[in-house]
Amino acid sequence: MSGHPAPTPTAPPPRLWPPQLWVGPVGLETNLLLAPIAGYCDLAFRMICREWGGLGLACTDLLSPQGLLRGTATSLDLAKTNSFDKPIGMQLYGADPEIMAQGARWAVEHGATVIDINMGCPVDKVTKKDGGSKLLTDLSRAVSVAKRVREELDRCPLSRDQWRERLGAAILKDGLPERVPVPLTCKIRLCWSTSDYESGQACSPHLARMLADVGVVAVTVHGRTTEDKFQGTVRHAGIARVVESVAGRIPIIGNGDVREPEDAVAMIAKTGCSGVMIGRGALSTPWIFRDAWSLQTRGTVDPAPTDSVKIEIVRRYFTLMLEQRDERYAMYQINRRISWFAKRLGFNPDGTRSGVKRLKEAIRNAKTPAEVHSILDGYLAGGYRCEMEPAELSEE
Ligand SMILES: Cc1cc2nc3c(=O)[nH]c(=O)nc-3n(C[C@H](O)[C@H](O)[C@H](O)COP(=O)(O)O)c2cc1C
């Protein structure tokens, strides 16, 4: 806790454009969300994105309710949050309504601003247990999970003092009772089977309406089918159909393939969605929320950070990881993430790139945190930029 007085949750005058995105009683500062990306959108990374601004809501990676309830170390690490990491969604996966409900209560008791149910994960480990996007093949089960979780959330409403601690820059709607339950959202895909989608049989428009009926206050739609996994390009028309089907009853958040601020604006224009969730684009560009917000509100984007600022982002991420976890885990993370960070590094004025391949190799071979820091220092001092690397030109 910072020790500073918490912000008052009273609403300022309504914003005209873009319209404020309300997740039930919670009004977000912007209409941009950080996606859950298992193994990547940890507390350290969420803090980096928040520091750059423009981020309305972030989410934990998918959490196992059983793991949370048993208190396993992995689940507790994944659910870590702090007072700066607000507002925060905690995402649960599973198909057992009762266990999901108890997991949701745990998340409320441990700082969640929003509870999200994962109905989109295509990974076997999750779908074989009927969770994630397997729920798209059994809508009555999907709805009963959401309904039971919603009931449980209604049984543990938060006081105004509790809300103050988990709003961050978000606000709470005026005129609500003294105690207000945490809102419930779901994240879905268009449907399981691509042939269903192509023949106009996607379940998502229908599912979104059914979820709204049981008190889900926003639905994020990743514009792919489960069979698509991550291939091809996002299907904006599929997201637009979900937007149309709910007819303004709840906001729909569009998700998929937003890599540049312009893609966020295009997502809204092509689908009519109320907000945009960004995943992989943020891994290389944690300042994308700042830029996408600025493009919507001012029509311009600030200059990209310089390479030395980008290197400081890498260093900050690594330092936070060392503080929040341990040396072994921080080394593991920097080793696998340097290629994401490096996607935006090393551009020469003529558009060619240099030094990035050597930087990545050096970081991957580093054995200690001191070595990581000295490699970053060396890159800044120009030590890795001695020659052009044609092989890298096609990387982006
Ligand atoms: C490695 C990886 C892990 C992911 N983990 C999750 C997850 O835990 N929960 C979830 O709802 N979606 C997860 N997703 C899906 C993303 O949230 C998002 O829907 C998808 O990547 C499309 O958005 P993007 O193009 O902005 O990345 C994951 C995606 C990837 C690539």
pLDDT-derived band at 348, boundaries 50, 70, 90 = confident
Does 201 fall in a domain?
yes
Report the 10 Å Cβ neighbour count for 14: 8
* One domain, residues 270 and 374: no
Q: Which of 271, 297, 323 is the last residue of a domain?
A: 297
By DSSP bridging, strand 114-119 and strand 58-59 are: unpaired
Among residues 195, 281, 269, the alpha carbon closest in space to that of 239 is found at: 269
**From ligand 1's centre to the CA of 59, what distance in Å?**
11
In this structure, are 311 and 290 located in the same domain? no
Residue to mutate, 37, 116, 224, ligand 1, most ligand atoms under 8 Å from C-beta: 37
Q: In terms of Cα–Cα distance, which of 195, 204, 209 is closest to 223?
A: 204
Does 164 lie in the same domain as 214? yes
Q: What is the C-alpha to C-alpha distance for residues 256 and 310, in angstroms, rounded to an integer? A: 24
- CA dihedral 187→49→331→78, nearest 10 degrees, is -40
Percent pLDDT > 90 in the chain is 89
C-alpha 11/C-alpha 25 separation (Å) is 11
Shared-domain flag, residues 230 and 326: no
Our answer on whether the CB atom of 36 is closer than 6 Å to any ligand 1 atom is yes
Alpha-carbon distance 49 to 43, whole Å? 10
- Reported confidence tier of residue 13, pLDDT bands at 50, 70, 90: low
CA–CA dist 192, 142 (Å, integer):
13
Better-predicted residue by pLDDT, 154 or 349:
154
**Mean pLDDT of the 24-42 span:** 98
Checking if the pLDDT of 171 tops 60, the result is yes
- Lowest pLDDT segment from 12-16, 36-40, 147-151, 322-326: 12-16
Model pLDDT, residue 384: 73
**Are 261 and 339 in a shared domain?**
no
Local confidence band at 339 (pLDDT 50, 70, 90 cut-offs): very high
Q: What is the CATH number of the domain that holds 198?
A: 3.20.20.70
Q: Is the pLDDT of residue 396 over 80?
A: no
Residue 102 lies in a domain: yes
Q: Are residues 47 and 123 in the same domain?
A: yes
Residue 393 reports pLDDT greater than 80: no
12 found inside a domain: no
Q: Is 91 in the pocket of ligand 1 (CB under 6 A)?
A: yes
Q: At residue 337, what is the residue type?
A: R
pLDDT digits (tens, 9 = 90+) for 206-262: 999 999 999 999 999 999 999 999 999 999 999 999 999 999 999 999 999 999 999
Domain boundary among 297, 331, 354: 297
Question: Rounded to whole angstroms, how far apart are CA atoms 291 and 296?
Answer: 9
Which atom of ligand 1 is found nearest the CA of 120? 11
- One domain, residues 63 and 186: yes
111 lines ligand 1 (CB under 6 A): no
Q: Is the pTM of this model over 0.85?
A: yes
Q: Has 121 been annotated as catalytic?
A: yes
Examine the domain organization and report whether 216 and 263 are in the same domain. yes
My answer on whether 237 and 320 are in the same domain is no
Answer yes or no: is pLDDT of 4 > 70. Answer: no
Instruction: Return the percentage of the chain with pLDDT > 70, whole number.
Output: 93
254 inside domain:
yes
User: pLDDT for 52-91, tens place per residue?
Assistant: 999 999 999 999 999 999 999 999 999 999 999 999 999 9
How large is the angle between the packed helices 204-213 and 236-246, nearest 10 degrees?
30
For range 117-134, the mean pLDDT: 97
Ligand 1 neighbour 122 (Cβ under 6 A): no
Q: Does one domain contain both 63 and 185?
A: yes
Q: Are 23 and 218 in contact (CB under 8 A)?
A: yes
Query: Is residue 242 domain-shared with residue 357, that is, in the same domain?
Result: no
Does residue 124 share a domain with residue 87? yes
Provide the residue range defining the domain that includes 150: 22-297
